[in-house]
Amino acid sequence: MDSSPLIAVPDVLIHYQGIMTNEVLKAMVRQLEASFLAKGVRMPRVKKINAVLIECLQNLIHHAESLTPIGTDAPEIEVAQEDKICAIRTRNLVSEKRRGLLQVKLDSINQMDSAELRSAYKAAMESGEVMGRNTAGLGFLDVARKSADQQIHFNFEPTGTGLYFFDLRVRV
């Protein structure tokens, strides 16, 4: 995972690498919620952080290439916090085709301001093209809307096998 810090001296709350399922997701959400509430974080903020975490994790569950589901190529997630900023970072393998789609989608999202993000989210939801599992576009719009800087930071690292590590970072 890219070691460049999203925040200085982070307090790592969750770090997990391995097979990603909804059961893992639920366990993380419960753990994070309990951790934040114990620290006195108010419920609406806990919900916002969990919302971003859930979208990121469900993106891993539904879209991560699973050619090597265990080991250092397995999907990875980290949640860290310092003061009032929470940083969520995921890494997973993607195909060349999906890398291209993600690049276009995320570049477009990162050029939007908050009003444009809200408008694009509504349009995507009304379009009817995102029913079922294929909701990554809507999910990224939601993540960007809820992030501290309306940005989804990302990069792709080639593996030399035709796949890429997709590194995604969000500040909430």
Partner 1 sequence: MEPLLHEPTGDTPKIKLDPHQGHFEFVGNSYPENTSKLYGGVIDWLDNWLRTTQMKELTVDFNFDYFNTSSAKYILEILRRLRDFHNEERKLTIRWHYYEDDTDMLESGEDYMETIDMDFELVVKEEDDF
Residue partners of 109: CB distance under 8 A and separation at least 6? 117, 120, 140, 141, 144, 152
Query: Under the criterion CB under 8 A, does residue 132 sit at the interface with partner 1?
Result: yes
Query: Under the criterion CB under 8 A, does residue 39 sit at the interface with partner 1?
Result: no
Question: What single-letter DSSP state applies at residue 45?
Answer: H
Q: By the 8 A CB rule, do 78 and 14 touch? A: yes
Structure tokens that stand for 144 in this block: 């960007």
Half-sphere exposure of 131 (CA within 13 A, CB side): 4
Query: Under the criterion CB under 8 A, does residue 171 sit at the interface with partner 1?
Result: no
Selected binder of partner 1 within 8, 9, 115, 131 (CB under 8 A): 131
Selected binder of partner 1 within 16, 17, 35, 58 (CB under 8 A): 58
Q: By the 8 A CB rule, do 27 and 108 touch? A: no
Query: Under the criterion CB under 8 A, does residue 61 sit at the interface with partner 1?
Result: yes
Residues 62-101 touching partner 1, rule: CB under 8 A, are none
**Residues near partner 1, by CB under 8 A:** 21-22, 25-26, 29-30, 42-44, 47-48, 50-51, 54-55, 58, 61, 118, 121-122, 125-126, 130-133, 135, 138-139, 141-142, 145-146
